[in-house]
Structures are given as C-alpha cells and as structure tokens.
Amino acid sequence: MLDIRYLRDNLEEAEARIKSRGEGYTLAGFRDLDDRKRKLLHANEALKAEKNRLSEEIAKVKDKSTVQQQIAEMRATSQIIKQQDEELKQLDEELRMFLLTVPNLPGSATPLGSSEADNVEVRRWGSAPALDFSPKPHWEVGEALRILDFETGAKLTGARFTLYRGAGARLERALINLMLDLHTEEHGYTEMLPPFMVNRESMTGTGQLPKFEEDLFKMEGLDYYLIPTAEVPVTNIHRDEILKGTDLPVRYAAYTPCFRKEAGSYGKDTRGLIRQHQFNKVELVAFCRPEESSAELERLLGNAEKVLQLLCIHYRVMALCSGDIGFSAAQTYDIEVWLPGQNTFREISSCSNFEDFQARRAAIRFRDGEKKPEFVHTINGSGLAVGRTVVAILENYQQADGSVIIPTVLRPYMGGMERITL
C-alpha cells in the first residue's frame, strides 16, 4: 500500500512511476474519492464534537426535565451522525480497496523496461558443467532413476503434482536441511515453522489479496488459504506490531510447502518439476530500518546465492526491470540457475525489497526510544526453491550412465550417499 499522503502531494509523479510497470494501472479517481471522504469526515467530526460537548452538559444537570429540549435535539443529531458514519464507512472501504489494488512504486535501483527481455544481468557465478554427452532434462533423468514419479503424482491428485520416491524424496529433504542449517547457523536467521494456511488478513498484508485471489487455493467454507509462499505467514508474524528499533534487523528462515493454482499458465512447463501446484521452499524474510533495506536485500541475495555456490552450480543474477517486478516489490533480483538438460537459465530464487509497501498494509512498525513509530522495510527471497534445486542437481550432476553424482556438501545429509543410481 502506498502512503496516502504521498499520493495526495505527488499524484502525477506516482502515476508516472507506476506507468513504468507497463500494466494498465491508473490512479484516476483517487483525488475525487479522497476529497469527498475528507470533506465528510470533517463535517462528521464537527458534529460529534458538538454531541460530546452537549452530552457533557446534560450530564452535569441534576434535573433532567429542564433539558428535554436539548435531549430531543441531540436525538436528531445522533441520527444524522449515524447516517454520516454509514456513508463514511462506504467511502473508507472504497478508498481502502483502491489503495490495496495499487502496486508498489518501482524503486530507483530498478531498471526501466517493459518485459523480461529488459532485465539486466548483474553477474554470473561458476560455469556450466563440461558434459561429454547430450544432457537430458531432469524429468528423464529422474524417471529413469525412479526417483521422480509424475504419473503417480497425477493419479494421486492431478496434473502438476509429483511423487518423489526413495533417494529423490531423501534428496528433497536433504536440501531443505542443508538450506535451513546454512541460513540459521551461518547467516543469522531464526528458524520458523509457520502454519501452511493463513487467513485473509495475512494474505492482504503481503499483497496477495485482494488482487490475486485466482492464484490461491482456498479452503471450502473457511476464510483460510493455502500459502503460496512462506513469505505470507512469516512476514505477518509481526503484523500490527511495533518492534523495538534495537531489535532490527529481524531475520527469519522458514521451510514450507507452497501451493499455487498457476492459473493462466496452461501449457507452460507442463513437464517435470518446474511448475507444480505444490512445491517446497526455504524462504528468507527480513525486517529492517528503511535506510538499511538496500543493503539487506544485497545481503539476503548473497545468502541465497551461497546455496548454489556450496552446491557448485552455475547461475546468474538478474535485476528485474520495472515491467517485470511483482505487485508488491520495489526492487527484485532473480537468481537463475543453469539447466544443461534444457540449455537455459531458470529462476530458482526471487529476492525482493518491498520497502514499506507490505509494512504499511500489515502495520509492521518499529520505534526508536520515545520517537514516533515508523514502518519497517520488508525483504524476502527464496533460499531456495527446493524442487527447482533438485532439478538443477539432476541436470548438472547427471552422468553418461544415467546416474547422478551427489554434490559433496549434500552427502552428510544423504546418509553418506555419493551417487544416485538405479
């Protein structure tokens, strides 16, 4: 949510910055709505002040029969106030919904551009494995080793669900543990295990609602949603709270499964693990002071990169352009991992600075001493998407004989296993 006072004072500038996202967002209608609301609010409050004043006077009078006239007047005034309250509530709700559907302003560090093609490569790490055979996509590798079973996943549930078997299941679990241990023991994050379903307020706090309801799985008959990312429950841990300035930055790491409808991606990435309705992810979330959020994003990005470095897998970091960043983000880096089986880089992590956009929606603030509370900045990113990391391992570490070497760092988590064979 944008600062309503910023909008009042800088509507044209805000509109221009939002236009750089390319989508058809508009701030038209804001001025009129805001003016009407404030006008009514003033009238309403003046009337209430009068009511309060008179009620106090009536209270002081012992003999109520002498103030029957005033009581009758106040009865009428109360009716007017009630009507105004009703109108005000509607205007407030209208204004709130308007503000909740306006995306964040792209930050100054975000390159301008209209699509994915305008994203800027920041750096590359490592190099593609030298394979002296034609590498296979992970679904072929995984199926041949009988560690990924797409057919049974589909039988159990439907398309975009997968059953991991044996060493495959172990590999997924090993990665989760490796990532959590790394981030908690080396990078200073506190581990959290949140609920996998959240309510509407939490979804609104991080920006999934009200605009993106169609991407979410909702429980029937309940206002509970399956989380599309741990970002939602973990960020909302501090919803409606005022943190101590001295406690910042606050850093949390959480493993959760993630559930996404993937509406509108029919036909895309239909094979393999890349696009599932359910996938595992270790998420990093940070709350910090506004002036520290740029550095915190770089730090968090580095923490996520570290996973791939430990696994010795080639990747690149992309700075997303204004046309490609998400609704709530001001700035985003994607980490794209090299997939030799598909001869391409694929997103394995997305790290964003939301500045005060989520903090304002979720009312997450901090306070230094006796000063006024201020909104924190929130930063989060995948550290990493686990399923896609399995993909990367299967494709990068596949051997000519169809086996897959297990990266050295992972072996302690795999019971010492060095290679997955049939």
Partner RNA sequence: GGAGAGAUGGCCGAGUCGGCCGAAGGCGCUCGCCUGCUAAGCGAGUAUACUGGGAAACCGGUAUCGAGGGUUCGAAUCCCUCUCUCUCCGCCA
Other Cβ atoms closer than 10 A to 313: 23
Tokens 């994915």, located at residue: 116
The span of 42-50, 155-163, 264-272, 346-354 binding RNA (CB under 7 A) equals 42-50
Q: Which of 16, 46, 263, 400 is close enough to bind RNA by CB under 7 A?
A: 46
Q: Which of 29, 35, 66, 89 is close enough to bind RNA by CB under 7 A?
A: 89
Q: Which of 31, 38, 146, 271 is close enough to bind RNA by CB under 7 A?
A: 38
Angle between helices 386-396 and 166-181 (to 10 degrees): 110
CB of 359 vs RNA, minimal distance in Å: 12
Contact 322, 331 (CB under 8 A): no
Residue 54 interacting with RNA (CB under 7 A): yes
Please state the three-class secondary structure of 24-60 as a single string. CCCCCCHHHHHHHHHHHHHHHHHHHHHHHHHHHHHHH
Other Cβ atoms closer than 10 A to 293: 24
Our CB check for RNA shows the closer of 24 and 369 to be: 369
Tell which residue, 319, 264, 285, has the closest CA to residue 111.
319
Our CB check for RNA shows the closer of 69 and 127 to be: 69
Tell which residue, 35, 26, 22, has the closest CA to residue 101.
26
Q: Which two tokens stand for residue 370?
A: 């006796």
Residue 42 interacting with RNA (CB under 7 A): yes
Residue 78 interacting with RNA (CB under 7 A): yes
Q: What are phi and psi of 421, to 5 degrees?
A: -125, 170
Residue 62 interacting with RNA (CB under 7 A): no
Q: Which of 9, 23, 55, 421 is close enough to bind RNA by CB under 7 A?
A: 55
For 201, residues 6+ apart whose C-beta sits below 8 A from its C-beta are 236, 239
Enumerate residues 350-369 that contact RNA by CB under 7 A.
365, 367, 369
Q: Draw the binding track, 203-242, toward RNA (x: CB under 7 A; -: no contact).
A: ---------------------------------------x
Our CB check for RNA shows the closer of 54 and 312 to be: 54
Our CB check for RNA shows the closer of 41 and 144 to be: 41
> Cα–Cα distances in Å, from 348 out to 72, 89, 247?
69, 44, 30
Q: Which of 108, 130, 158, 372 is close enough to bind RNA by CB under 7 A?
A: 372
Residue 124 interacting with RNA (CB under 7 A): no
Residues that bind RNA in the complex, under the rule CB under 7 A: 4-5, 38, 41-42, 45-46, 48-49, 51-56, 58-59, 64, 71, 74-75, 78, 82, 89, 242, 365, 367, 369-370, 372-373
